[in-house]
Amino acid sequence: MSGNWLVNQPNSRPDIMQLKSAIEELESLRFVIEALPLQSAPSRHYLMALHWISEEKAIKRELAQVVSAMHFIEANEPLTANIRINLAQIRDIRGTLRNIKTGSTPDDIELFELKHFWLLADGIKRFLSDAGVELICLPDMGPVMKILDPEGNRIPTFYICDNYDDELAALRKAYNNAHQRGEKALEEQLKEAAIQREEVVRQHLGEQLHVQYNALRHTMDQLVYLDILLSKAILFKQWNFTCPELYGEGLTNYHGLFNPLVKKILEAKGEHFQPVDITFGFMPTLITGANMAGKTVLLKTVALSQLLVQFGFFVPASEAVIRIVDQVMLSVGDQQSELQGLSSFGAEMVRITGIIRTIRSGKKVLALIDEPARTTNPTEGLALVKAIVELFEKMKVAGLITTHYSGTDFTCRKLRVKGFTETDIPEDISIGNLIRYLDYNLVEDTGESLPHEALRIAGILGVDNELIERAQYYVHEEDRVKK
């Protein structure tokens, strides 16, 4: 498959989010991006300049390229290793390319960089040709090769050789003769003339390379894309990411969804990350469950997956069907607005207002809101959550909203984290191993009486027994009144 995708250039579309901005908002996205085993020096810069993709066909095309790369690697492991060795030797020559574009005269270092780069590119093209595959589309290497390697020796060094210019060759010959005869004055004169002629040759080379700028730049773009493509394929196989099915409309459905960052942290402690299944569509879904029940991680993981797929990546799940959106908007309590002088409630309201304004502008938004109004009084907090849900229902917003306001008369779909898997808490349970006794699967919330797991967790944390007993009394009283 031909690589017709060209790496986006910095600031070419300032109105569209770039990957470098997205990773500032979500640590788990940064974790995935930094784990890519990139080889070439400029690849990470190009990667950070990738743009958000909202066209379903463009995303499918990119995902198909990753699938092709995975098949290529499986069938050509030694060849892949050789290609990546070449990619690892590619230097960041963006400055040299800018000079060529503007018509500046290249110096010998820049000419060496270009020759070295072109030899590596030609080698990669030969590797791919020998394998009969076309993951990327490289130009005819001949014209630039003739400019940079007129002798055809394919040695990764550069000097202004005699083949470039007959006059220069004659000056050098005369200089050598004068040197042998010991004619110092003539020798210096010929040396200066040869130096001046070399500069003329460099000017001519710069003019010829300027004509070939598009081929040079296209080749750099394609090789960086190949590096990113192979790195994606390698990482996705290692981490068991999946290629999602895409739908512009319809439900988003994840089976075996996991957060790779949290998974790594837990595995380092000898613990296991429990993947979850979740389905949601055009209407808001309310998710309840005790603190420490994984609700925030779930929202961040859904955000991660949506961002990944719309930057052209596979997703951390065993199966996935994803609805394409125009924007992912996440409101969680650990964001940075509080540092700008706002209270946690004020910062939260600013974020939610931003979400609503974006929705009203006509964009298809995936809204992910964690525990809205949790820091205000219960009456107003519940009212705000209900208002958000009703507004999202009215505007048909795909949204996941976590809350501790359970057992209420919300009209939207409601899910609940199962929570504790055992009726009796083992004596050796602690904050360190609590995760082993929690079931993070989601179940439909029927609105019936829910287990009061916050008090169970408080007991595990060693909260004063009398305090817990008094709290349990009031919980039982409230349940009795409701009945």
Same-domain status, 401 and 315: yes
Residue 473 placed within a domain:
no
| CATH code for the domain of 433 | 3.40.50.300
Domain for residue 469, yes or no? no
| Residue 218 shares a structural domain with residue 260 | no
Residue 262 in any domain: the answer is yes
pLDDT for 3 equals 40
Question: Which stretches of the chain score pLDDT less than 50?
Answer: 1-13, 336-339, 341
Residue 5: per-residue pLDDT: 39
| Residues 331 and 361 placed together within one structural domain of the fold | yes
Q: Which residues pair with 286 in a beta bridge?
A: 401, 414
5 domain residue, yes or no: no
In a domain, 431, yes or no: yes
3-class SS letters over the chain: CCCCCCCCCCCCCCCCCEHHHHHHHCHHHHHHHHHCCCCCCCHHHHHHCCECCCCHHHHHHHHHHHHHHHHHHHHCHHHHHHHHHHHHCCCCCHHHHHHHHHCCCCCHHHHHHHHHHHHHHHHHHHHHHHHCCCCCCCCCCHHHHHHHCCCCCCCCCCCCCHHHCHHHHHHHHHHHHHHHHCCHHHHHHHHHHHHHHHHHHHHHHHHHHHHCHHHHHHHHHHHHHHHHHHHHHHHHHHHCCECCEEECCCCEEEEEECCHHHHHHHHHCCCCCCCEEEEECCCEEEEECCCCCCHHHHHHHHHHHHHHHHCCCCECCCEEEEECCCEEEEECCCCHHHHHCCCHHHHHHHHHHHHHHHHHCCCCEEEEEECCCCCCCHHHHHHHHHHHHHHHHHHCCEEEEEECCCCCCCCCEEEEEEEECCCCCCCCCCCCCHHHHEEEEEEECCCCCCCCHHHHHHHHCCCCHHHHHHHHHHHHHHHHHHC
pLDDT at residue 15, as a whole number: 61
CATH of residue 72's domain is: 1.10.1420.10
> Do 54 and 117 sit in the same domain of this protein?
yes
List, for residues 30-75, the tens digit of each pLDDT value: 999 999 999 999 999 999 999 999 999 999 999 999 999 999 999 9
At 337 the pLDDT is 46
Same domain, 256 and 220: no
Residues 108 and 138 both lie in one domain: yes
State whether 252 and 226 are in the same domain: no
pLDDT score of 114? 98
Does residue 255 share a domain with residue 290? yes
The confidence score (pLDDT) of residue 379 equals 84
- pLDDT score at 428: 65
Count up the domains in the chain and report the number.
Answer: 2
Q: Are residues 192 and 287 in the same domain?
A: no
Are 223 and 278 within one domain? no
pLDDT of residue 9: 37
166 lies in the same domain as 254: no
Decide which of 204, 230, 256 is a domain's last residue. 230
Q: Both 133 and 282 in a single domain?
A: no
Closest CA relative to residue 50, chosen from 5, 101, 107, 4: 5
Supply the range of the domain harboring residue 319.
Answer: 245-451
